[in-house]
Every structure is written in C-alpha cells, then in structure tokens.
Amino acid sequence: MDLSPENLLRRSEIKKCWFDMNPREITLNAINHRETGKIPVDCGSTGVTGIHVKAVEALREYYGLEKRPVKVIEPYQMLGEVEDDLATMMGCTVRGIYSRSNMFGIRHDKGWKEFRTFWGQTVLVPEDFNTSLADDGSLLIYPEGDRTVAPCAKMPSAGYFFDALSRQEPIDDSRLNVDDNLEEFSLINDADLDFWKKQFASVRGTDKAVIASFGGTAIGDIALVPGLNLKHPKGIRDVAEWYMSTVMRQDYIHGIFEKQTDIAIKNLSKLYKAGGDVVDAAFICGTDFGTQVSTFCSGETFEELYAPYYRKVNNWIHKNTNWKTFKHSCGAVEPFISRFINCGFDILNPVQISATGMDPETIKSRYGEKIVFWGGGVDTQKVLAFGSPADVRDQVTENCRIFSKNGGFVFNTVHNIQANVPVGNMVSMFETLRKINS
C-alpha cells in the first residue's frame, strides 16, 4: 500500500470532496432534475454500469487499497465487485443490490472460491461456478453449475468474458407454447424473497442511492433469450430465431410478454412490501433497440410489440412505489427516446454518445427535462480505451458540462469498463470528476 504523504493527502482530499454532501442526496436531486453543483457517479451498481474484474484489480492497486481477490458478481461479462473502499476513491454515490442467482443461475449465497483466469488473475467466484475446457481450449460454463447438462456459454482462451451457446431445440410452430419461454420468469419463491429481505436490510440507512436489479421485467432482452440459467431451455432460444420471431411470430411474442409482465408485477408487489421502500431506482429492462447507426426496429413495431408492457410495468411502479425506472438500450436510439419517455421510463442508459444521432448537446436540449441520462460521461469504445488521459479529461469535462445542466444526469461510462482499459485513463476520469465536484 502506498503510504507516501502525497498519496495520503490525495486520498483524504477525495473523501472530503465527495462526502461534504450526502451522496444519496446528490443522486436523488439529479434524478429529480434538480441541480446541486455536484454530479452523482455510478460505477459498479448494475450489470450495465460495471467494471471488469481486471480493471477493478488495477484500480485497487493504483489507489493502494488492500490486495485481495476481486469477487466476480456478474460472470457473463466478468464484472467485479466494487467494494466500499474503492467506491469511495472513485466517488460513487450509488450502490446496487442483486438477486440470489446470477445470469447462469449460479447462486451467490453458497460461498465463494478462488479461480484462476486465462489472463492470470486470481478472482473469487460463487461456489457452484463449475467449468471445463473445450477441445479448442475455451472455457465452458454450465447452468446452475451442473456439469451433467450441456454448457450454456464459453469464454475463448484469449477472451475476457463469456459468449452464449445456442441450445435451440427443433422448432415446430404447431406446438409452440408461450410457457416454454417463461420458465425463467416464475413467481418469486420464499428463499429468493428472504434473500431480498437481507439485501434490503443491508442498504437500509446507507448514505448512497440504491438501485435494484430485481429481474423478471426484461421484455425481450436478447442477453436473456438463450436461457443461460436453464438446464434444458425450451421455446425460442436462438438469437437469430428470436429476432425473426418478432416479425413472424408476433402473437407468440405478445403471449410471452403479457404473461411475463403479469408475473413481474406480482413479484414487484411482494418485493416492495418486503422492504423495497429503501430502493431509489429499479433496473427494468436491458433490451437494446439501437445499432451503431440506426434502430433495430421501426417505431411502429416498438409501439405495437414492446410499449404496452413497458407502460404496464412503469405505471404500476409509479403508482405503488417511490422507485425511478431505469431503461438500458445501447445504440442510435434518439428516435426512440420520446417513446421511452411516453412509456414511463425515468432513466436512460448507457447514452451511447458515439452512435448516430446521439450528440450530447442535441439529446440534452430535446429530452433533458423529461428523462435522466445515466451514462454518456465518456466514450468507452474509443476515448476511454484508446485515448490519452488528456482526451479522457477533456471529454468528461465537456459531457459533464452538457448533461448536468438542471440536473437529470448520473455520471457513468458508456456501458461497462472493459478489461484492458489503461489505468491512467480510468484515474483521469475519476480525478476529473473530483475536480468538477470540488
């Protein structure tokens, strides 16, 4: 640990800067479109605002924090836990809470074990994180950690995260049953509810804003379509087949979304009664509607196929809870932002400023009074990954100036921070934020 006077002074200044004002108050003011002169920061609270375990380790080392293996809290993307000591150094004002099982159906509450990655890092993974090596040297992982069934995802030997494997069974349209695509969206059981009660208790009284990833409300999220947590997924599970089905089998998709939404609202009701009043924002859906240059579907298709179910969930939440609702969608979604607003979403992430039509000045002026931009702080595809620390500083400064006007902005990178981002660039980002907020 670096105990030099310069480092100790810098660490003291960071802590003083961020905690003169309650971090939760900073965040709540922002998401209620009130400007306070402070910009809230999220790095690590959800599966789309996180940091790769390799980058987490690099940051811990830079800041001189205790050296210990990083927990993999989301193994699909190999995202690492941002513990309180690092969150303080980064200036985070938000913390996240999660469900009992991860994307692969592997539980978080059965203990942790060490695991050595392809890139040579020792991390902590859940006890049932069971893998094997494929003939090509890639790493195979199994639903619920059960190696007696087919693997659900693989990580190439030169990779840093997993890719889904298609386990699509032959499709007979005459025998399609919407319940087959609802297996992972069941009513919450007592064990999961008890886990959530512990999560709520762990954040009650925290000085940070709380965002919860409850699950169950992801309407058509392609990351979930393959059923990575299911041992024998049925229904439509191939990614290409699913996208074709949104055109060719719309009645079937409607049937899935309608039942899924009804189940989700029942679950959300139980969760709120169990202690969900401590939650400030709820991650609703990660369905992407944009590519780098356009939208995935027409506005008419969005209104017909997705909007009714988004409205139903958002309306229930706004009528019955204090939560703000969080919509993730990558890409060139400027034509859909007004539609997201009309569906009742309060927050948009990741705000992909590099995509066509997503100029910060333009979208802030058009939509900034009605939706919170949770992201867009710095471009992760080019600037953060491949620019200089000065490039990072300049873009962070400019985007904070634009997005923070009149509130409505939570700083986050454009999607997760990846494995090999230079630590100097990450530090430049956090140091710039500290200066802006000082």
Mean pLDDT over 93-105 rounds to 97
pTM, entire model? 0.94
* Same domain (yes/no): 162, 300: no
pLDDT reading at 1 higher than 50: no
Q: State the average pLDDT over residues 216-222.
A: 96
Tokens in use for 268?
């959300």
Please indicate, yes or no, if residue 202 is contained in any of the structural domains.
yes
Query: What percent of the chain shows pLDDT beyond 70?
Result: 95
Say if 121 falls within a structural domain.
yes
Contacts (Cβ under 8 Å, ≥6 apart) of 247: 301
Res. 4 pLDDT band, cuts 50 70 90? very low
Read off the amino acid at residue 61: E
Q: Do 296 and 244 have their domain in common?
A: yes
- Which residue range(s) make up the domain with 422? 12-51+84-105+169-436
Half-sphere exposure of 261 (CA within 13 A, CB side): 21
Alpha-carbon separation of residue 217 from 32, 185, 209, 213, 223 (angstroms)? 23, 9, 21, 10, 13
What span, in angstroms and rounded, lies between the C-alpha atoms of 94 and 39? 12
391 shares a domain with 279: yes
Q: Is the pLDDT of residue 257 over 70?
A: yes
Residue 5 lies in a domain: no
* pLDDT tens-digit series, residues 54-85: 999 999 999 999 999 999 999 999 999 999 99
CA distances from 65 to 8, 60, 87 (A): 12, 5, 11
**Which CATH number goes with the domain that contains 101?**
3.20.20.210
Q: Retrieve residue 321's tokens.
A: 């809870």
Both 386 and 258 in one domain: the answer is: yes
What is the chain's mean pLDDT, rounded? 95
Q: Are residues 298 and 354 in the same domain?
A: yes
Task: Kindly give the pairing relationship between strand 372-374 and strand 79-80.
Answer: unpaired
pLDDT at position 20: 66
In a domain, 334, yes or no: yes
20, part of any domain: yes
Task: Tell me the pLDDT tens digit for each residue of 332-357.
Answer: 999 999 999 999 999 999 999 999 99
Same domain, 126 and 183: no
Structure tokens at 59: 């940051």
Mean pLDDT value of segment 361-376 = 98
Say if residue 138's pLDDT is above 80. yes
Q: Find the largest Cα–Cα distance for the chain.
A: 73
Sheet hosting strand 131-133, strand order edge to edge:
131-133, 139-141, 153-155, 163-164
pLDDT at 11: 47
| Total number of domains in the chain | 2
Predicted confidence (pLDDT) at residue 170 exceeds the cutoff of 70: yes
pLDDT (mean) for 166-190: 96
Q: Is position 163 within any domain?
A: yes
Domain end position, chosen among 168, 190, 217: 168
Query: With b meaning 16 or more CB within 10 Å and e meaning fewer, what string describes 107-142?
Result: bbeeeeeebebeeebebbbbebbbbeeeeeebbbbb
**Tokens 């804003």 found at:** 209
CA distances from 184 to 144, 172, 239 (A): 12, 21, 17
Specify whether 271 is located in the same domain as 372: yes
Confidence category of residue 270, pLDDT binned at 50, 70, 90: very high
Of 6-10, 92-96, 235-239, least confident by mean pLDDT is 6-10
Q: Is residue 142 part of a domain?
A: yes
CA atoms of 152 and 167, how far apart (whole Å): 7
Say yes or no: 158 and 285 in one domain: no
pLDDT bracket for residue 6 (50, 70, 90): low
- In this structure, the strands spanning 122-126 and 112-116 are antiparallel
Residues 142, 291, single domain; the answer is: no
Q: What pLDDT score does 177 carry?
A: 97
In a domain, 6, yes or no: no
Q: Are residues 129 and 212 located together in one domain of the fold?
A: no
H or E stretch covering 155? strand 153-155
Domain identity same for 131 and 91: no
Are 186 and 76 in the same domain? no
Q: Examine the fold and report which residue of 114, 136, 168 is the final residue of a domain before the chain moves on.
A: 168
Domain finish residue from 114, 135, 168: 168
Q: How confident is the model at residue 21 (pLDDT cuts 50, 70, 90)?
A: confident
